[in-house]
Structure 1
Amino acid sequence: MKNNWFINQITQFSDQTALIWKDQNYTYREILDGIFNYLNILNENNVQPGECVAIFGDFSPNNTMLLLALIQNRNIVVPLTPSISSAMNSCLKTACVTRLFKFNNTDAYKMIETSCQKSHPLLDEFRKQNAAGLILFSSGSTGEMKAALHSFPKLLSRYKKKGRKFVSLAFLLLDHIGGINSLFYSLCNGGTIAIGTQRTAEEICQAIEKHKIDLLPTTPTFLKMLMISKAYLKYDLKSLKVITYGTEPMPQSILEALVDIFPDVSFKQTYGLTETGILSTKSENSDSLGLKLSGDMKIIDNILYIRSESMMLGYLNASAPIDSDGWYNTGDKVEILDNGYIRILGRESEIINVAGEKVFPGEIENIICMMDNIRDVTVKGKPNPLTGNIVMAIVDPIEKESDEIIEQKVRNFCEKHLPPFKVPAIVKSSEKRLYSGRFKKIRV
């Protein structure tokens, strides 16, 4: 069996709890039994190594055990979740999927053979390695969803190094590089991970209290929701030791407020992309956005470039911004701080050019987030014949007010904190949520 080091690693934890799902505990022994059971199912259905197999569903025990079995069977795994239901057929086609395991809410599945007959040169080349692969789709928050092909052996190699043992909560799902990281970090260190929790502030706080969660990996968007909900006041969250956040820039005002709410919790910024995998990071301190990245990195014209062992092999539906020396252009604008740490400012593609002045949406969002009646905000550019672009803010107010009053309040507040060219020329209210199913801002 391939990846025996992983099987050997989790075998030593035998009767310890690996997963918690719907208040039921699953031991490492049960996970191992499930892996071998699914290997038999794959064999009975003649699922060959190298086939692209999709798993559709939420984070669940059977979903997880099938994923681990597919890795052992050297398949190319395509995790999909209900958040992309409308684009599922397109994803299956792009990823050249031949089998789909579709899980329902009871954790039962139906296997479907697709009509896909085609392949892709990148997949054909990868299959020569006779190794398990992973296809992840980018969030599409700034454009088209891209399909990134990874080598599982390369992704998993970082977990051979021993880490801390946590009782964690799976906030990010298996279609996200952060969800993959949460699962394998926990399993390889004998941790316990609570899965399948509804991602509302109420449900998350309830799960933290019930299961004594000490690690919560999440996003700035969710943490802002948690603050506004005040659900943290209703539950005993003293077990929490670490909150990690990533996937998008964190507003400084939100981070400072969170540190005040959870003074005994260590806040750590993570960094990783669908394309690069998760990188080891060191935060300057809990209330700072400064961080250091492990591995090879360089900064050219304030753009971050990364070279890592966990780098994707390429896209199936786009050209990859990786040069001949293996450097990946992240597209992230960064600032080098005096102490050598860096601060992520935002995506270069999201910068708004107002009459030659560069405006970072995150800077304006940070200011608007300081207002009392704002649940969420997204800032982006709108073409203008005179200045090239103007700044537009779309806000989700907590208490409904007229568009005219909201616009006046936002503009007046911004005028106190920002130069004129950064003040939103247009302010719109939205009753729709401003984030994706991955709890990340939508900017298109």
Structure 2
Amino acid sequence: MATGFLLARFAAAGDKTAFVEADGSRESYAGLLARIEAAGAALDAAGVRPGAAVQLRGDFGAAATAFLLALWARGAAVIPVAPVSFEKAGEFAQVGQAEWIVDAASGAASGAIAPGPGSSEHPLYDDLRRRGVPGLVIFSSGTTGASKGAVHDATRLLSKFEGPGKDFRTLAFLLFDHIAGVDTLLYCLSNASTIVCPAERTPEAICRLIAAEAVEVLPTAPSFLNLMLLSGAQQAHDLSSLKIVTYGAEMMPQALLERVAAALPQARLVQKYGTSEIGALRSRSEGSASRWIRIGGHEDGRGAEWRVVDGLLEVRTGTAMLGYLNAPSPFTDDGWYRTGDRVEVKGDMVRFLGRDSDVINVGGQKVFPAEVEAEIARLDGVAEVAVSGSAHPILGAVVTARVRMTDPGAAPAAVRTAIRRGLAGRLEPYKIPQKIEVTDQPLVTDRFKQRRG
């Protein structure tokens, strides 16, 4: 059984706390084992067949985790959906051919199990059933189009964690249906670590929880770290327990990285890299204030490799998905995944410049939104910024910026003037935004990604 090694470690951990739930209650590893058994019995009673495609609605905690592992034990292809994506659950169930829907967020001890709209029929599911292995389906956030469902062989993801790791009290900040969130969950479970679940993901709530539960590892995103520093919540709470802060999912501006390093001097800052298609790769930052990282390589245990073709990163790894449910394969004929990320290379390290699809072509000159955002973010009074391109009849496109100021009463005309003056001499003229919109709305999504365009 693919999850057998995890169950053995749970049994050995016994009464150790597995989850600090969002409501403050505790669940031990012994209790988690009992929940997994109960979840299996509930699935049997409902008639969920081995190898079925099952949508699992829930969040980090013992309830959803128990169903995840019970479903994998019977070879199911699990489609997790976190609360921030519940509005798209119907679409995901249709695309994922979900034969069953398990609502682990219902509050019932055995969950709520109901028939889904699908029949578990898809060639990729057939492959999983033929080999007798469970699956995991991760949907992309769909910020630039329809969400794509990436189908993984769950045994490949689980095999990364069979060896021993380190036991850290970890805050489950990332999302239950995000590949990095699943990776964090499995790492913690494989080392019988305590997982601290937040009730909300505001800077105040997260910092309060870190202090109260002596959290050692915070996996998060640059957007949240920026909001945290702006709020000052890190100064109002004792965050001295933090040993490691990992970040990914979007570009980290150098100035923000330096501010975070100064605010959390005791913590090691580590940039992570991964995608829904290839999983979360192991990585090592050159230093806490450096955006250069080493990714993959033989030390990650999965034989991950990378190369750069025409400035774009390509990755080949044993944790790659089998394919999409609803889109053509993004792999080359020899198995390299074309990430679409533009990078620079220094020896065995890379530094990310931005998504190739985000590049703005201004009269033949390429502009990386992240570069412009980083310079604007340095200016006094800027809380958030998002840069994109707007169509132009002569140049093809011009740079557009949306900014939210720390002072909501700031006069838009004065803001535009200050930004253009502040960028003069720091950016080439064609990179300076021609259009600047001042907004009082957040420029990050519920998944802590920038709202560009």
Question: What is aligned with 1:290?
Answer: 292
8 Å contact from structure 1 (residues 136, 149) kept in 2: yes
Q: Find the aligned partners of 2:246 and 2:59 in 1 and give their Cα distance.
A: 21
Distance, in Å, in 1 between the alignment partners of 2:175 and 2:85 is 12
Partner of 2:313: 304
**Aligned partners of 2:343 and 2:108: how far apart in 1?**
42
Flag the 1:301–1:198 CA change in 2: closer, same or farther, 3 A: same
1:365 aligns with 2:373: yes
Gaps of at least 5 residues in structure 1 are none
Q: Residue 15 of structure 2 aligns to a residue in which SS?
A: coil
CA contact (8 A) 2:96 2:118 kept: no
Matching of residues 37-76 of structure 1 within 5 Å: 37-76=38-77
2:204 equivalent in structure 1: 202
| Mapped partners of 2:108, 2:363: distance in 1 | 54
Does the alignment pair 1:18 with 2:18? Answer: yes
Any conservation in 2 of the 1:141–1:441 contact (CA below 8 Å)? no
> 1:229 is matched with which residue: 231, 243, 250?
231
Cα–Cα, structure 1 residues 358 and 334, in superposed 2: closer, same or farther, change >3 Å?
same
In 1, Cα distance between the equivalents of 2:318 and 2:188? 20
Q: How many residues align?
A: 443
CA contact (8 A) 2:106 2:112 kept: no
Query: 1:99 maps to what in 2?
Result: 100
Match of 1:263 among 262, 265, 278: 265
Match of 1:159, SS?
A: coil
Contact 1:306 1:327 in 2 (8 A): yes
1:429 is matched with which residue?
438
Query: What SS does the aligned partner of 1:372 have?
Result: coil
Tell me if the contact between 1:197 and 1:207 (Cα under 8 Å) persists in the aligned partners: no
Q: CA deviation at 1:13?
A: 1.4
Query: Per-residue deviation at 1:58?
Result: 2.6
Amino acid at match of 1:40: A
Q: 4+ runs of 1 displaced by more than 3 Å?
A: 103-109
The letter of the residue matching 2:84 is S
- Shift of the alpha carbon at 1:117? 3.8
CA contact (8 A) 1:133 1:152 kept: yes
For 1:85 and 1:160, the matched residues in 2 are separated by 32
Q: Which amino acid aligns with 2:355?
A: R
Q: TM-score, normalised by structure 2?
A: 0.95
Letter of the aligned partner of 1:389 in structure 2? A
Q: AA paired with 1:148?
A: A
Q: How far has the Cα of 1:383 moved from its partner?
A: 1.1
Structure possessing the higher relative contact order (Cα contacts under 8 Å, 6 or more residues apart): 1
Q: In the TM superposition, what is the alpha-carbon distance from 1:107 to its structure 2 partner?
A: 6.2
Q: How far apart, CA to CA, are the structure 2 residues paired with 1:414 and 1:17? A: 51
Query: C-alpha offsets along residues 296-347 of structure 1, whole Å, 9 cap, x if unaligned?
Result: 111111111101111001111111210121110000000012x542101111
Would you say the 8 A contact 1:60–1:196 is kept in 2? no
Judge conservation of contact 2:72–2:78 (CA < 8 Å) in 1.
yes
In the alignment, structure 1 residue 393 sits paired with structure 2 residue 406: no
Q: Which 10-residue stretch deviates more, 101-110 or 263-272?
A: 101-110
Structure 2 residue aligned with 1:125: 127
Return the alpha-carbon distance in structure 2 between the equivalents of residues 107 and 308 of structure 1. Answer: 39
Displacement of 1:118 = 6.6
Instruction: Look up the SS of the partner of 2:318 in the other structure.
Output: coil
Q: What CA distance in whole angstroms lies between the structure 1 residues aligned with 2:112 and 2:276? A: 28
Letter of the 1:410 counterpart: I
Alpha carbons 1:58, 1:196 under 8 Å: kept: no
Query: Aligned partners of 1:414 and 1:16: how far apart in 2?
Result: 54
Distance 1:318 1:410, change over 3 A: same
C-alpha separation between the residues in 2 aligned to 1:107 and 1:61? 12
Partner of 1:213: 215
SS at match of 1:97: coil
Q: Offset at 1:106?
A: 4.2
CA distance in 2, matches of 1:12, 1:54: 30
Give the TM-score of the pair, scaled to structure 1.
0.97
The alpha-carbon deviation at position 442 of structure 1 amounts to 2.6
2: CA distance, partners of 1:137 / 1:246: 17
Hey, what's the Cα distance between the residues in 2 that align with 1:180 and 1:406?
Answer: 41
Match of 2:115 among 113, 116, 120: 113
3-state SS of the aligned residue for 1:12? Answer: helix
User: C-alpha distance in 2, partners of 1:136/1:365?
Assistant: 29
**RMSD of equivalent CA atoms:** 1.5
SS at match of 1:260: helix
One-letter code aligned to 1:171: F
Structure 2 counterpart SS, 1:77: strand
Equivalent residue for 1:442?
Answer: 451
Report matched runs for 1:241-252 at 5 Å.
241-252=243-254
Deviation at 1:105, TM superposition (A): 6.8
1:377 match: 385
Q: Which amino acid aligns with 2:222?
A: P
Q: Which is worse superposed, 58-67 or 109-118?
A: 109-118
* Alignment correspondent of 1:172: 174
The C-alpha deviation readout for 1:110-145, integer Å capped at 9, x for no partner, is: 222123247222222332111110001111223321
Change (3 A) 1:269 1:219: same
Return the letter of the residue paired with 2:101: L
2:97–2:117 Cα contact (<8 Å) kept: no
Q: 2:370 touches 2:387 (CA, 8 Å); kept in 1?
A: yes
**Contact 1:49/1:130 (<8 A) preserved:** no
SS of 1:288 mapped into structure 2 = coil
**Within 5 A, what are the aligned runs for 1:3-14?**
3-14=3-14
Letter in structure 1 aligned against 2:319: S
Distance in 1, Cα, partners of 2:126 & 2:388: 40
Alpha-carbon distance in structure 1 between the residues aligned to 2:211 and 2:307: 42
Paired amino acid for 2:375: I
- Once the two structures are superposed, the pairs formed by residues 304-323 of structure 1 within 5 Å of their partners are 304-323=313-332
Q: Which moved more, 1:194-203 or 1:406-415?
A: 406-415
Deviation of 1:14 after TM superposition, in Å, equals 1.6
C-alpha separation between the residues in 2 aligned to 1:112 and 1:403? 52
Alignment-derived partner of residue 333 in structure 2: 324
> Which residue identity does 1:247 align to in structure 2?
A
Number of the residue aligned with 1:352: 360
Secondary structure in 1 matching 2:329: coil
